[in-house]
Amino acid sequence: MPDSGFVQQDFQRRLRNIPSLGMGLSVDVYSPNLFELVNTLKERGLQPGYLEVFKATAAALSTVRQAMPDISLAYHGEGLWITQPDVQASPFFQQDVDEMVLQLNSIQSLWLNHECAMKQMAGYSFGTYVPPLYTRLSAEVVAANIAAVLQMMDRQNRRADGAVPLFLLEMPPLTYFFAGTISIPYFFGLVAGSVPCGLVLDIGHLWTVYRYTTACRRMSLERFVGEFLDEFPLDRVVEIHIAGLACHESIGQSTSGEELPEWIDAHAAPIPSILLTMLEQVLAHSNLVSLRAVALEVDTKPIEMIVGEYAEAVRRFSPVVQQTMARGTSLEHSMEPAPHPISVQVPVCQSDRQQLHDDYTRYAQIISGHAPATGPEWQDAAAEAIGITRYRMVYLPYEILHWGGDLAEMFPQTCRALAERGVCLTEFVAFWFRSPRPLTHSYDFFLLKIERFCEFVTERALDLQGCAQQECDILRQAYAEANEVVEPVVEMERIQ
């Protein structure tokens, strides 16, 4: 393991390049249209301190950079499964990191933020993020993968001001269950002790940790947040996110008035007031000494709602955010940063990688309902059995059948013909998770759905193969065209 003193010094060195940005927005280029959003904010006299932009095409991102020369931009990455023990051996890893660094450079981003979560593990694919296994070995692997990404980022860095890049690791939400043997704050402490990354603390994600662990049965939310923050490496938190929470469309509102709602992370939904109370508690914590930015995560949210929430958040929190950032920067000047970047390597032996690969195979089988939730990592999930059951029985089937492309709408003729033969679409969920399969391209859930559905139809109704193939071709072509024609959307007037 690298010397934690050097790691801390290198983090300080990277952090020094990041100015205090204050309050901003984490956005998508297209949803809602970023130019329309920024113009509407401007009309109301609001200018975000920065924009954190979600992964898009390189062309779209450089259009954004050119159109908004006066706004600081940061990058929210996607698709690097740094939780996975075999990610560096993936044939797409190098290509995915290269693409990400290209995008970072094209917007002269201040950092690369990436969720500590994955949509693929051990050959199984999911549509939405799944949290990592919270174990000691898993933390080591995350650190080793971040070290590798950081080396590539350093090598290809093209910041005009010569600043070295910063990797920010975001604590992901829980979606009904927790799996692991160590606490979440301790896990992030292990990672931060090994690599010079910063962290993103998402307040809504923190609420889901309270809701979907035994904590909500044992203590008040306020006490939970206090204890969590005392253990979490808060001195590494560079950015705070706050976004909406809502019950998932597949589950609906809880009927009982006594239970906490079954909210999950939902960027399109309003920010509940309880999260603002939690944000107050976080900002008041004395260990929060590296804060540079607080963003409302607003991708997919209606513009009117964004403007209202942002105006209110600035009014309520801007002074305290400024104070918190000032407290940190005065401390930093008294610390000695590393004179030049250190090359951190976190060795993980092959047998440990294999062990974690096996753990993730079991993880995928458990959450897809193909293995019982037993063993030390699953004690918490067993105590809150309703959570894992919700995920397996309702959330996950909905994701495979409807989310990111509704099968009946994607393949109308084939689905009608399957129904006539008595083949129920829910069988596709079991087919999807029946066995692991090697990756054939960089992660794309829509393309994967098309590919897997064709295979399903071939197996279950060979005579429908031609029909399915025809619908597949139409979908693939439309998808490729949609990705091309989406570019002009950002060719709008320069933001004055």
What is the nearest approach in angstroms of Fe ion to the Cβ of residue 265? 7
114 or 241, CB closer to Fe ion? 241
Alpha-helical (H) ranges within 333-421 are 350-367, 379-383, 385-390, 396-401, 407-410, 412-420
What is the nearest approach in angstroms of Fe ion to the Cβ of residue 208? 11
What is the nearest approach in angstroms of Fe ion to the Cβ of residue 202? 4
Binders in 226-265 for Fe ion, by CB under 5 A = 241
127 or 173, CB closer to Fe ion? 173
Q: Which stretch binds Fe ion (CB under 5 A): 175-183, 294-302, 443-451, 475-483?
A: 294-302
16 burial (CB, 10 Å; 0-12 / 13-18 / 19+) is: middle
Contact 105, 154 (CB under 8 A): no
**Of the candidates 175, 177, 151, the residue with the CA atom closest to the CA atom of residue 164:** 151
Structure tokens at 297: 């995560």
Q: Which stretch binds Fe ion (CB under 5 A): 195-203, 213-221, 320-328, 366-374?
A: 195-203
Q: Which stretch binds Fe ion (CB under 5 A): 87-95, 197-205, 266-274, 415-423?
A: 197-205
Contact 153, 94 (CB under 8 A): no
25 or 143, CB closer to Fe ion? 25
241 or 392, CB closer to Fe ion? 241
What is the nearest approach in angstroms of Fe ion to the Cβ of residue 293? 12
111 or 432, CB closer to Fe ion? 111
Q: Which stretch binds Fe ion (CB under 5 A): 61-69, 202-210, 211-219, 376-384?
A: 202-210
**Of the candidates 496, 494, 486, 495, the residue with the CA atom closest to the CA atom of residue 60:** 486
What is the nearest approach in angstroms of Fe ion to the Cβ of residue 236? 16
Which residue's Cβ has the minimum distance to Fe ion?
A: 241
240 or 289, CB closer to Fe ion? 240
H or E element in which residue 476 lies: helix 465-485
119 or 241, CB closer to Fe ion? 241
What is the nearest approach in angstroms of Fe ion to the Cβ of residue 344? 25
Contact 51, 71 (CB under 8 A): yes
Binders in 339-398 for Fe ion, by CB under 5 A = none
**Of the candidates 237, 226, 221, 151, the residue with the CA atom closest to the CA atom of residue 189:** 237
Q: Which stretch binds Fe ion (CB under 5 A): 198-206, 319-327, 453-461, 483-491?
A: 198-206
CA distance 77 to 112: 6
What is the nearest approach in angstroms of Fe ion to the Cβ of residue 169? 11
CA distance 348 to 147: 12
What is the nearest approach in angstroms of Fe ion to the Cβ of residue 234? 17
Cα 269 to chain centroid distance, Å, stands at 17
CA distance 248 to 259: 16
How many residues line the site for Fe ion (CB under 5 A)? 3
294 or 425, CB closer to Fe ion? 294
**Of the candidates 176, 276, 256, 170, the residue with the CA atom closest to the CA atom of residue 216:** 176
122 or 282, CB closer to Fe ion? 282
199 or 447, CB closer to Fe ion? 199
202 binds Fe ion (CB under 5 A): yes
116 burial (CB, 10 Å; 0-12 / 13-18 / 19+) is: buried
What is the nearest approach in angstroms of Fe ion to the Cβ of residue 243? 6
Q: Which stretch binds Fe ion (CB under 5 A): 105-113, 201-209, 214-222, 391-399?
A: 201-209
Binders in 311-330 for Fe ion, by CB under 5 A = none
Residue 461's CB: how many other CB atoms inside 10 A?
A: 18
Contact 40, 298 (CB under 8 A): no
Chain contacts with Fe ion (rule: CB under 5 A) = 202, 241, 297
